[in-house]
Structures are given as structure tokens and as C-alpha cells.
């Protein structure tokens, strides 16, 4: 169907005075005796274009201007108030009617209500802005890595090995377990893959394989977590950006993570000014100032042991006790990043017992060369570490955790053949979207959220 993007009509001076065809959905309209006006949006921009109809000269179907109706409009582009343009319609065709029980009405709906209509909420302004920022940020991530000689790899989604070892894998099976099987092994042997399989929680282990050939790689795909966390920051299916870099230690990878975050945010600020202004106005007052300050700032690097001291000295009553050796809870992370430093903080050198088997053990024998990046308002957005390149230490860490070496033979062999220091991180794509948009619930930055007890 021949037509042009409303974004182009709004932005390109060359269309002024021209006759154009646009298609879109009616977002608002009003009719008087002689004139009618409709705001049309085709999803290419946050701003609608106004269609002006001289009722004496143009007849149109009675249903054409109802909210949500899909139209094709032909008309001349003319100057409007405040330097904008509008279209004087000469032809209006209804492509799809929209009856009065359309769930998206002109009023401002709550985000909770909109979650009940994921197939329609995308047409509301908030989601128009969220998904454009999401798309631009995905492009910015690819641009960042592609322009720096990283190879983009696609790691498997179905896997026989659990990367994080936290028992959060969804099982992949074509048969249900039954009492007829004498053991779990017998059941799995009968299943599709002939062994236990699950949906990957992270592409890291295979990413490391690729990094040992290409030096610098990144993955960008879905990860799955069956964790029972019904919070505004967790979904069971999230998008995961995972670079893996050979010949890099913890501080090299911290530098890369900080530079990537700043660079992609700058690109979003350049390409989505209207969307970010919208979020500043409706979701987080001061958002633009926050982002401008972020790209100019140096992120903090804080030792875990020091973080524990700060929390203990805070005089705050936390719900979860603060003890060296226990993981930081959201309330602790928020205190550190929102109240103490008021900017992103890399907490480094966590106790080895609360972190994953693959992390490089520090000479102190107690901690690992790992970091989480915490940001105000969201908490953890990145999990990162230098990897254990020493075969004996790796095997030791696996034994302590009772892991089955046979499930990790490829990974273990990497340490045998040309092993090098290497590091990587995982950025939760929805988490950084929350930070950049100020949208406080992860369910509102993904098309179809999957959470505990909810899938459609
Ligand atoms: O800290 P995590 O568990 O680290 C890993 O998976 C490493 N294997 C990554 C690596 O080094 N390649 O997860 C990384 C990030 C978290 O910081 C968070 O942003 C996001 O993934 N994430 C989630 N996002 C939304 N919902 C969930 N349930 C998430 N779980 C983790």
C-alpha cells in the first residue's frame, strides 16, 4: 500500500505543499458542523499528525473518526501552528473500523490495567515511547560492539549445563515424569535429548568458547529463569547482552561495561529526544538531568567488604541482616547507590561462597574477581567477572558445589587448550531500559512479560 511514514511528513520540509498518503490509527478526533479534525499515529513517531477535514468538500464514512480506527488519508501538507505541519484531507478511506467497546479510551489508563491488554497497550503513548527506545537501544548495543571488532554470536537456548548453578532452569521435556520410571536417569534417558535439558539462564559458557577463538564476542538474546521472584525487576524470560573478552582482567571489563553503558545511553539521547522528554514529564522528573550527569560521571568502584562496612555504619534498620558473607539485598543495593554515591556503583570482590563457580578466585582465598553494577532506582543491572582460567581451581570450585563435571566437559577443556585470562558480563536489557526510561516495573518494558503464575 503506497504511503509514507508520518515521522517523515512531520520532520522533512520537502513535503510541505505536497500531496501525500499516510496510514495510521485515529488517536483523537473532534467534529464541528463545518470542520473535523483527527490526530493520526502510525507508530513511527510519538507525535501524531493532525488531519483537517473541510466537511463541505469531503464526505467520509460516519465511523471514520472513531478512536482506534485505521485510516488511509490522502491530502496536502500545510503549515500549522508552532512550526508544525498538518494534512488537509482530500480522500479518507477506512481500512479497519473500531467499535465503541475499544478498551483504550481517551483517558489515561493505569499501567496495571494496560498489562491486562498487552495486544492493545502497545498503541498507547507510553508504549510507543518505550518500544522505540527499546529498539534504538538494541541498535546502539549492536553498533557499540560491531564498531569495536566484536563478533556477534548466537548461543544455544536449550542446554545441558546450568551456567549459574542456582537451580533456576526451566526443564525442556517432551514427556512427563511418571512413577513407572525407576529413577530420574531412566526418565531422562527416555526423553527427547536422552538426558536432562533446560532453557539457558545465560549464554556465557558458550560465549567463552567463542571468545577463545574470536577474542571479543557478544551475544544478545533471551535468557530464562525459573526463579520464584515476583518483583518489579524480575521476569522469567529476559533479554541478555553478554560480551566475553579474551586477554582482559576484571578492571578491563569494568572499563568496557562503563564505556558501553555511557555510549549506548548517549545514542538513545541523540535519537529519542521526544521519547525521553515524555518519560521525564510522566515517569521520572529529572530523568534527562540524570542521564546527562551519568554520561559525564565516573562510576564508583567499591569493594564488597567496604560496602558491608558502609551498610553497618548507616544506622539504618534493614529488613535483611548485614553480615560479611551474605549477598546484598535490594534494600542494601539501593542504599549504596541512591543514598551514599547517587550514581552507578561497581561492587567488586564478593565472597566466593555466594557467587558462581566460574569466577576467578582472588589470592585472599575468600573472594572472587566479580562485580555487580548497581544503579539508582533499579539496583543490579550487570553481573560481571573475570573467569577462572586455572583448571585445578575451576575443578575445585565445581567439586565444592557438588557439580557434575561431565555436564561441563567443553568448558573444562577450554582451560586445557590455550587458556588465557578472560572476562565478561551480562547486562539485563530490560533492567537498563527501566533505568533509561524511568519506568519502574519491568513488565512495562517488554512486549509480553512472563512472570510467576502468568503467561499468555
Ligand atoms: O548476574 P547474572 O545472573 O549473571 C549471569 O548470568 C552471568 N552469566 C553473566 C555473564 O557474566 N555473562 O545476570 C546478569 C544480569 C543481571 O545483572 C540482571 O540485569 C539480568 O541479567 N537478570 C534479569 N533481568 C530480568 N529478570 C530476571 N529474572 C533476571 N535475572 C538476571
Q: Is the pLDDT of residue 395 over 80?
A: yes
Would you state the cell numbers that stand for residue 179, as one nine-digit string? Answer: 512413577
| φ and ψ at residue 255, rounded to 5 degrees | -60, -40
Atom 21 of ligand 1, nearest CA residue = 428
| φ and ψ at residue 103, rounded to 5 degrees | -65, -20
Q: How does residue 107 score in pLDDT terms, banded at 50, 70 and 90?
A: confident
427 Cα–ligand 1 center, Å: 6
pLDDT of residue 270: 98
- Give the separation between CA 318 and CA 294, rounded to whole angstroms: 28
Mutate to test the pocket of ligand 1, among 222, 431, 443 (most ligand atoms within 8 A of CB): 431
Closest alpha carbon to 244 in 253, 235, 236, 255: 253
- Enumerate residues 6+ apart whose C-beta is below 8 A from 388: 357, 358, 359, 360, 361, 394, 397, 415
Q: Count of CB atoms within 10 A of residue 58's CB?
A: 15
Q: Is the pLDDT of residue 166 over 90?
A: no
CA triple 227-377-131, angle to 5 deg: 75
Q: Are strands 216-224 and 151-152 parallel, antiparallel or unpaired?
A: parallel
Q: Is the pLDDT of residue 375 over 80?
A: yes
Query: What is the arithmetic mean of pLDDT over 100-105?
Result: 94
Which residues' Cβ are closer than 6 Å to ligand 1?
Answer: 163-164, 202, 204, 225, 227, 234-235, 238, 240, 242, 380-384, 424-426, 428, 430-431
CA triple 252-148-344, angle to 5 deg: 45
Query: What is the arithmetic mean of pLDDT over 218-242?
Result: 96
Q: Is the pLDDT of residue 165 over 80?
A: no
Q: Are 145 and 215 in contact (CB under 8 A)?
A: no
pLDDT of residue 356: 96
pLDDT of residue 321: 93
H or E segment to which residue 429 belongs: helix 429-437
Q: Is the pLDDT of residue 161 over 80?
A: yes
Q: E strands, 229-319, where?
A: 237-246, 300-303
pLDDT digits (tens, 9 = 90+) for 238-278: 999 999 999 999 999 999 999 999 999 999 999 999 999 99
pLDDT of residue 240: 98
Query: What is the arithmetic mean of pLDDT over 159-176?
Result: 87
Burial of 38 (0-12, 13-18, 19+ CB in 10 A): buried
Share of the chain above pLDDT 70, in %: 100
257 Cα–ligand 1 center, Å: 14
Q: Are 212 and 421 in contact (CB under 8 A)?
A: no
H or E segment to which residue 128 belongs: helix 125-146
Long-range Cβ contact pairs of 37-43 (< 8 A, separation 24 or more) = 38/64, 38/65, 38/71, 40/6, 40/71, 40/73, 41/6, 41/123, 41/128, 42/5, 42/6, 43/123, 43/128
Atom 28 of ligand 1, nearest CA residue = 234
pLDDT of residue 296: 95
Rounded to a whole number of angstroms, the distance between the first and last alpha carbons of the chain is: 32
State the chain's mean pLDDT as an integer.
96
Query: What is the arithmetic mean of pLDDT over 31-45?
Result: 97
Q: How does residue 283 score in pLDDT terms, banded at 50, 70 and 90?
A: very high
Closest alpha carbon to 275 in 439, 446, 128: 128
Would you state the cell numbers that stand for residue 248, as one nine-digit string? Answer: 582482559
pLDDT digits (tens, 9 = 90+) for 45-57: 999 999 999 999 9
Q: Are 137 and 264 in contact (CB under 8 A)?
A: yes
| φ and ψ at residue 194, rounded to 5 degrees | 75, 10
pLDDT digits (tens, 9 = 90+) for 397-408: 999 999 999 989
Would you state the cell numbers that stand for residue 63, as one nine-digit string? Answer: 465511523
Q: Which CATH superfamily is domain 6-102 in?
A: Nucleic acid-binding proteins (2.40.50.140)
Write the DSSP string, 192-220. TTSS--EE-S-SHHHHHHHHHHHSEEEEE
382 Cα–ligand 1 center, Å: 7
Ligand 1 atom, smallest distance to 381 CA: 19
Q: Which CATH superfamily is domain 125-166+201-444 in?
A: Bira Bifunctional Protein; Domain 2 (3.30.930.10)
pLDDT of residue 164: 81
- Give the separation between CA 202 and CA 184, rounded to whole angstroms: 25
Write the DSSP string, 266-284. HHHHHH-HHHHHHHHHHT-
Residue 138: C-alpha distances to residues 38, 145, 219, 334 (Å)? 33, 11, 12, 26
Q: How does residue 346 score in pLDDT terms, banded at 50, 70 and 90?
A: very high
Instruction: Quote the pTM value.
Output: 0.97
Extents of the domains making up the chain: 6-102, 125-166+201-444
Query: What is the arithmetic mean of pLDDT over 24-30?
Result: 97
- Give the separation between CA 16 and CA 316, rounded to whole angstroms: 61
pLDDT of residue 163: 78
Amino acid at each position: 500500500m503506497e504511503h509514507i511514514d508520518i515521522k517523515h511528513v512531520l520532520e522533512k520540509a520537502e513535503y510541505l505543499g505536497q500531496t501525500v498518503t499516510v496510514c495510521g490509527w485515529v488517536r483523537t478526533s473532534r467534529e464541528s458542523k463545518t470542520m473535523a479534525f483527527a490526530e493520526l499515529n502510525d507508530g513511527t513517531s510519538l507525535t501524531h499528525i493532525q488531519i483537517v477535514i473541510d466537511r463541505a468538500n469531503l464526505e467520509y464514512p460516519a465511523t471514520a473518526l472513531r478512536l482506534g480506527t485505521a485510516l488511509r488519508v490522502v491530502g496536502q501538507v500545510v503549515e500549522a501552528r508552532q512550526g508544525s505541519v498538518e494534512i488537509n484531507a482530500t480522500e479518507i478511506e477506512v481500512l479497519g473500523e473500531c467499535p465503541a467497546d475499544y478498551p483504550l479510551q481517551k483517558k489515561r489508563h493505569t499501567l496495571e490495567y494496560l498489562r491486562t491488554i498487552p495486544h492493545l497497550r502497545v498503541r498507547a503513548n507510553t508504549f510507543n515511547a518505550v518500544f522505540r527506545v527499546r529498539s534504538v537501544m538494541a541498535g546502539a548495543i549492536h553498533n557499540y560492539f560491531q564498531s569495536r571488532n566484536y563478533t556477534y554470536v548466537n548461543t544455544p537456548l536449550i542446554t545441558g549445563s546450568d551456567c549459574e548453578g542456582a537451580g533456576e532452569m526451566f526443564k525442556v521435556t517432551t514427556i512427563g515424569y511418571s512413577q513407572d520410571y525407576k529413577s530420574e536417569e531412566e526418565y531422562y534417558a527416555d526423553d527427547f535429548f536422552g538426558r536432562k535439558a533446560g532453557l539457558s539462564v545465560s549464554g556465557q559458557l558458550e560465549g567463552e568458547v567463542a571468545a577463545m577463538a574470536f577474542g571479543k564476542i557478544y551475544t544478545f538474546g533471551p535468557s530464562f529463569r525459573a526463579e520464584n521472584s515476583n518483583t518489579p525487576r524480575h521476569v522469567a524470560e529476559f533479554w541478555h547482552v553478554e560480551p566475553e573478552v579474551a586477554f582482559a582482567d576484571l578492571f578491563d571489563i569494568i572499563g568496557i561495561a562503563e564505556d558501553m553503558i555511557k555510549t549506548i545511553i548517549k545514542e538513545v539521547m541523540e535519537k529519542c529526544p521526544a521519547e525521553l522528554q515524555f518519560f521525564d514529564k510522566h515517569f521520572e522528573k529529572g530523568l534527562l538531568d540524570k542521564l546527562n550527569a551519568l554520561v559525564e560521571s565516573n562510576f564508583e568502584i567499591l569493594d564488597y567488604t567496604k560496602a558491608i562496612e558502609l551498610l553497618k555504619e548507616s544506622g539504618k534498620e534493614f529488613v535483611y541482616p548485614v553480615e560479611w558473607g551474605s549477598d546484598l539485598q535490594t534494600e542494601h543495593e539501593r542504599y549504596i547507590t541512591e543514598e551514599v554515591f547517587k550514581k552507578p556503583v561497581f561492587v567488586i570482590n564478593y565472597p566466593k561462597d555466594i557467587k558462581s563457580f566460574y569466577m576467578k578466585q582472588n589470592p585472599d582465598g575468600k573472594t572472587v574477581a566479580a562485580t555487580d553494577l548497581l544503579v539508582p532506582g533499579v539496583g543490579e543491572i550487570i553481573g560481571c567477572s573475570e573467569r577462572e582460567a586455572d583448571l585445578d581451581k575451576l575443578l575445585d570450585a565445581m567439586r565444592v558445589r557438588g557439580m557434575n563435571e561431565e555436564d561441563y566437559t567443553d568448558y573444562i577443556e577450554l582451560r586445557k587448550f590455550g587458556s588465557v585470562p578472560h572476562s565478561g558480563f551480562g547486562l539485563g536489557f530490560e533492567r537498563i531500559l527501566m533505568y533509561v526510561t524511568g519506568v519502574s516495573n519491568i513488565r512495562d518494558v517488554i512486549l509480553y512479560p512472563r512472570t510467576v503464575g502468568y503467561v499468555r
